[in-house]
Every structure is written in C-alpha cells, then in structure tokens.
C-alpha cells in the first residue's frame, strides 16, 4: 500500500499552487496522513479526522467539515 505523509503542505504556497496541489492529491489512490492548519485544504481532502488529546486519540468519520459540525469546535490555529 502507498502512504503519503504531509506536514503543512500548503505553507508558503499561493492560491493557484494550493489549488493545483489539492487537484493532484485528490487523484492520489493511496493513503494520506497530513497535518494542516488550512481549512480549505482540510475540507477538500479529508475523509477522517484523528484528534490527538491528552486523553488519547479520537477518530471522527467524515471530513473536517463533519468534524466541526459534530464537535462544535475548530482546531486551534486554523486559517482560511
């Protein structure tokens, strides 16, 4: 299985380049694990959220938008 690990992949990218990255990653057929503070990137590509807390790891099915709807909170430090 293919695994792609990305740490803040949209940092320092302009809007057009971010869109190109999202388009390319949306066609990736393997598994992706990424950390991002970019709401648009998270909403476009996530299908599951892992929340790391002092109590442990919490898994939420659905993407970032569903996570926000279920928990009523956004992760700290997010930007559009």
Domains and CATH numbers, the chain: 3-71 (3.40.50.300)
The residues facing 11 across adjacent strands are none
User: Does residue 32 contact residue 4 with C-beta atoms inside 8 Å?
Assistant: yes
pLDDT tens digit sequence for 63-78: 999 999 898 887 666 6
pLDDT tens digit sequence for 23-51: 999 999 999 999 999 999 999 999 999 98
For residue 43, the surrounding DSSP H or E stretch is helix 39-45
Q: What global pTM score does this model have? A: 0.81
């Amino acid at each position: 299985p293919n695994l792609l690990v990305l740490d803040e992949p949209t940092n320092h990218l302009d809007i057009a380049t971010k869109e190109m990255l999202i388009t390319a990653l949306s066609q990736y057929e393997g598994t992706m694990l990424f950390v991002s503070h970019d709401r648009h990137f998270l909403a476009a590509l996530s299908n599951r959220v892992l929340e790391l807390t002092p109590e442990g790891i919490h898994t939420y099915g659905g993407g970032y938008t569903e996570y926000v709807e279920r928990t009523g909170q956004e992760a700290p430090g997010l930007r559009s």
